[in-house]
Structure 1
């Protein structure tokens, strides 16, 4: 307060009288088990209402604006859906953002010489998807000015003359600076932006679900753009087309995106519809299509590098597992989470972890069961990494895979890996002589599952699901050392997946996720 004598918002730093009253009442927070919020013995949560100086139970409000926004995938449209509604939630959001926009504009050039650095600071430091000036452009600068003036809010004169803080001309982006001029945004070569490349005419092929882009030097990039980048038939078809195009016209392929998350997995809604209609032949075809796509990645004649970041779950993880290499952003949360919806990884994920266990055990001369147990637990517990480095310990990333600390450089780094791998690249050969861990290892796993169920750590259905995973990852009902093929494991994986699709409790789990977003333990 004392250090900001000329700041128009300095009064907010004055401690309100009600806070002083809370201090006098020893309502100090967690240490006294009551502060601005508190819980009672029934786990009910309360907030401190400063008007009545007492606690009131929290009742989660529902606003039409928020419910509408939840159904919209595009970030810009979500923002508009919230701010241009007429309910109370919309008004609260508008009041907060309006004041923040005006205050932030007034801090130029006090805290930065241009809007770009402010936006980057908020995105890099606070993980915002858009900075304040980018948000103002989405809403419309003059829309903000007119609405604020109508509400009697003082608007800076300079702001009244600005139409946008960012401009695009001839595939170049310009940003507003403190002197009122626009500077060209010059990107480093390490900062490959797919949006700019697409506008520059680098699109090779495009569908409603995915786009293949030429990113230079003979390298193509496959970008997903469905809701949450959920993988459906359109993406699977484009994976096969992309690998073929890279084989015929380039040196390799990068699989990367620029949305919030790499991929939330397979299209669950589409699967739920097929199950409800009893279309199990269609489901079988869908799973085969997924397996064929991941195998096209694995056995491509040119290197394929995946560049995951954010949520990389289920099918998204399976795409990465079948790539020649992974170039992951440090904040990558990857895992095979299908058990949460009553299923098992069937896009080659369970098969691939079985293959890795078998080959690594043979190469290092160790007991295969230890690796099988580890990879089984990852799948059965739906374990998700807390960051990219944890993926090495989980077995999802291996020697030769890399972690990128700057997400702006992720696609460039993945591209450089493709170029490096392309030198002297030798395509893999299908695996036809794998030694199955066998039923003895599966029995050991199932014995542990029985103990966990009787100890009430897992439900009976969770034991059943995990048992099917154990069957696949150990190679099925065969003796240890029986020679099996990779295709045999894929067929086994698909068989058990279809078996789970026919179970009522799997349907209940799928419905729970689709309706509430929360996993059901049944």
Structure 2
């Protein structure tokens, strides 16, 4: 690894990609210089770059993880400020995809940059050899391609292409920076057209569109067959095209057909459809346009989803075909491509050629099958990579079908025979190489995955909703395993069992899992069942059981570190609040959202939020400010939109850690826990001085005002009044001390009053049915 490091970055090009890359660099806490051309009019010479930053501050999903990050972006223009490149350790070019314009910029960069400064292009279409043609040897040594995916904050893939003269230390420096600081998974790609993800992805999209037209498949049928059953984004194919923009398709086609060899399979399937050309011409470019293959018709005040008829070109009400059933609907790919009728015909027409094509680009586009699989999973959000799909189907079966259809059979498919591309050997995951041998899948230093731990051992204890795993070095992981990692009585029971086990034989505990989200909170399905049969005793037992389990974690005689990511809501947030420390993934969306279903936090969240705001050095002293802030956040069901924002809201403390790369989260959390072991002492129980009924009256006045303005509903007011009662200490006089046990008692009592309210029950039922809060 090079001793050089990246302390400041310059991004040239403030379009959607360039500005997004600059924002992610700023999210990492690294200063960034954002340059663009001079504006066509006006006196502000930095208007283009400044406008890009201003736009990002208003964009949703937000490119910035917090407003403070935007302050790390310095704006300028290429004419006046190119000399500032000398201050930077890495220059990212993200300008228009025209070779002549890029080469002109590189010539100017050679005059101002410091030799040894990394220079990269975000191109996805132009070969590296062409980009550096005519440049000095030093420039070629410092140059590479860093292909980010849009939007740069949220897409985890980056394809890195090094040239034959690229300095290995420079490539390593940039790779390490985008991994650890920007949170990306690096896939090394060869200098071939389209690199990896876009080459396979463009082929897949083109083949799926062609097959829909050729087989007479409707857009809804195509999206049902080729969506979730295949494990690709739930939008389905045509929904995905609408999302990325239909007008992008001709550009991708032109790019690949102009650079791929004449005998490449993509050249044979690349074709335009008159209907699609007409849609683009008329402004029907997808979600950003007048509509796309789908649109929402709001004529007459209605809201009807419509789909484009591929034969007539007209819109009609969108249908729900319901064609895919049985194992195929649950992701059995062999069953899907073997289904009778249009389901199997279309599935095979898409998957057969796509998997064959993906297999054909190894090692031309990337050295290993792992690179192809990672690229498609991270760049196109496929659940399984192409070679993982082939294993699911069976390589031998796939080859047989390919030959029947007279489709090409790449060498690596002939080579694999009846074996699998991945296998587990001696507790290690291995992949099949182009040399005909199996090789270990090697994780980068500092990456620890629970999926690897599971290959070599069994859980220490487990039940239907949770498990406990030995991470080594005396650290144990508590894993939630239910649907959406929802929390229930089994989770609480396992926590109570885990504590004596960890105390006896281990040093620390990390709360972590590798689901799509950390936890969406309590299991509402079980809760609704209990409410419907008026099992109030069971509900109260669940509330008090959760309180007891979480406080047992809080006061355990060893460090407890929670490692949230994605959604950490309700009870998922409360387990974090009751931990000694939090090591959060940067993309953690955390909050106490119970008011949305007509209740309040019941597992200690109310007291823990007050404690955090009392500790917050930026908040005024006294009993009311911490209560008011907690009331504001809980009553409005505020969810932090990043780990950085979670610190602003008090869900994370100022000294809690943030990990940018999701794959590094468990390792970082484990190290945080180990660092706390020596001299560890459990926290002391807090005592609160709360404002009592006077404070509650003030909070209720504010809610009443919102109600009169139409900003809160009648039941919002009821829920908020109960929340105010808890946060202000019930009927306790403000001169009295309120203990943590009293706070938990107030919480449980208010919770039980609310769950008995039919309007709260209606909110729970509505959330389960629609996934959206009921405003009653």
TM-score (norm 1): 0.90
- Equivalent residues of 1:65, 1:89 under 8 A apart: no
Please state if 1:329 is matched with 2:585.
Answer: yes
Corresponding residue for residue 672 of structure 2: 417
Go from structure 1 to structure 2 and tell me whether the alpha carbon gap of 1:135 and 1:282 turns closer, same or farther (over 3 Å shift): same
Please state if 1:427 is matched with 2:682.
Answer: yes
Distance in 2, matches of 1:288 and 1:430, equals 18
- Equivalent residues of 2:612, 2:653 under 8 A apart: no
Give how far 1:25 is off. Answer: 4.7
Corresponding residue for residue 215 of structure 1: 471
Alignment of 1:219-368 (within 5 A): 219-360=475-616, 366-368=621-623
Give how far 1:359 is off. Answer: 4.9
Corresponding residue for residue 643 of structure 2: 388
Please state if 1:518 is matched with 2:772.
Answer: yes
Corresponding residue for residue 20 of structure 2: none
User: What's the CA shift string for 1:128-185, capped at 9, x where partnerless?
Assistant: 4432222332343334344555556444354245331111111022112233322112
User: What's the CA shift string for 1:300-338, capped at 9, x where partnerless?
Assistant: 111100111122111111111100001111111212122
Go from structure 1 to structure 2 and tell me whether the alpha carbon gap of 1:50 and 1:475 turns closer, same or farther (over 3 Å shift): same
Corresponding residue for residue 629 of structure 2: 374
Distance in 2, matches of 1:125 and 1:346, equals 39
Secondary structure, aligned partner of 1:213: strand
Go from structure 1 to structure 2 and tell me whether the alpha carbon gap of 1:404 and 1:28 turns closer, same or farther (over 3 Å shift): closer
1:103 pairs with 335, 354, 357, which one? 357
Go from structure 1 to structure 2 and tell me whether the alpha carbon gap of 1:476 and 1:415 turns closer, same or farther (over 3 Å shift): same
- Equivalent residues of 1:190, 1:409 under 8 A apart: yes
Distance in 2, matches of 1:3 and 1:58, equals 38
Please state if 1:401 is matched with 2:661.
Answer: no
Distance in 2, matches of 1:80 and 1:462, equals 50
Distance in 1, matches of 2:339 and 2:704, equals 53
Structure 2, unaligned runs of 5 or more: 1-256
Corresponding residue for residue 477 of structure 1: 731
Secondary structure, aligned partner of 1:215: strand
Secondary structure, aligned partner of 1:452: helix
- Equivalent residues of 1:210, 1:226 under 8 A apart: yes
Corresponding residue for residue 48 of structure 1: 308
Distance in 2, matches of 1:90 and 1:311, equals 36
Go from structure 1 to structure 2 and tell me whether the alpha carbon gap of 1:434 and 1:68 turns closer, same or farther (over 3 Å shift): farther
- Equivalent residues of 1:219, 1:252 under 8 A apart: yes
TM-score (norm 2): 0.62
Give how far 1:29 is off. Answer: 6.0
Alignment of 1:78-227 (within 5 A): 92-93=346-347, 95-149=349-403, 153-156=407-410, 158-162=412-416, 163-201=419-457, 203-227=459-483
Distance in 2, matches of 1:290 and 1:183, equals 45
- Equivalent residues of 1:63, 1:87 under 8 A apart: no
Distance in 1, matches of 2:495 and 2:742, equals 23
Please state if 1:16 is matched with 2:273.
Answer: yes
- Equivalent residues of 2:614, 2:621 under 8 A apart: no
Secondary structure, aligned partner of 1:183: strand
Distance in 2, matches of 1:480 and 1:86, equals 73
Aligned length: 514
- Equivalent residues of 2:613, 2:619 under 8 A apart: no
Distance in 2, matches of 1:472 and 1:85, equals 58
User: What's the CA shift string for 1:480-505, capped at 9, x where partnerless?
Assistant: 34311011010110111111111111
- Equivalent residues of 1:263, 1:313 under 8 A apart: yes
Corresponding residue for residue 492 of structure 1: 746
- Equivalent residues of 1:294, 1:319 under 8 A apart: yes
Go from structure 1 to structure 2 and tell me whether the alpha carbon gap of 1:110 and 1:25 turns closer, same or farther (over 3 Å shift): same
The range that moved more, 272-281 or 34-43, is: 34-43
Give how far 1:48 is off. Answer: 3.4
- Equivalent residues of 1:64, 1:87 under 8 A apart: no
Go from structure 1 to structure 2 and tell me whether the alpha carbon gap of 1:125 and 1:369 turns closer, same or farther (over 3 Å shift): farther
Give how far 1:409 is off. Answer: 1.3
RMSD of Structure 2 on Structure 1 (CA): 2.8
Corresponding residue for residue 7 of structure 1: 264
**Higher RCO, 1 vs 2 (CA within 8 Å, ≥6 residues apart):** 1
Secondary structure, aligned partner of 1:521: coil
- Equivalent residues of 1:65, 1:85 under 8 A apart: no
Distance in 1, matches of 2:763 and 2:538, equals 20
Go from structure 1 to structure 2 and tell me whether the alpha carbon gap of 1:495 and 1:91 turns closer, same or farther (over 3 Å shift): farther
Go from structure 1 to structure 2 and tell me whether the alpha carbon gap of 1:152 and 1:300 turns closer, same or farther (over 3 Å shift): same
Structure 1, unaligned runs of 5 or more: none
Go from structure 1 to structure 2 and tell me whether the alpha carbon gap of 1:54 and 1:290 turns closer, same or farther (over 3 Å shift): same
- Equivalent residues of 1:304, 1:323 under 8 A apart: yes
- Equivalent residues of 1:65, 1:81 under 8 A apart: no
Go from structure 1 to structure 2 and tell me whether the alpha carbon gap of 1:306 and 1:27 turns closer, same or farther (over 3 Å shift): closer
- Equivalent residues of 1:354, 1:474 under 8 A apart: no
- Equivalent residues of 1:333, 1:386 under 8 A apart: yes
- Equivalent residues of 2:732, 2:738 under 8 A apart: no
Distance in 2, matches of 1:440 and 1:478, equals 10
User: What's the CA shift string for 1:391-420, capped at 9, x where partnerless?
Assistant: 101100002211111111111100110111
Is the radius of gyration larger for structure 1 or structure 2?
2
The range that moved more, 199-208 or 171-180, is: 199-208
Go from structure 1 to structure 2 and tell me whether the alpha carbon gap of 1:395 and 1:174 turns closer, same or farther (over 3 Å shift): same
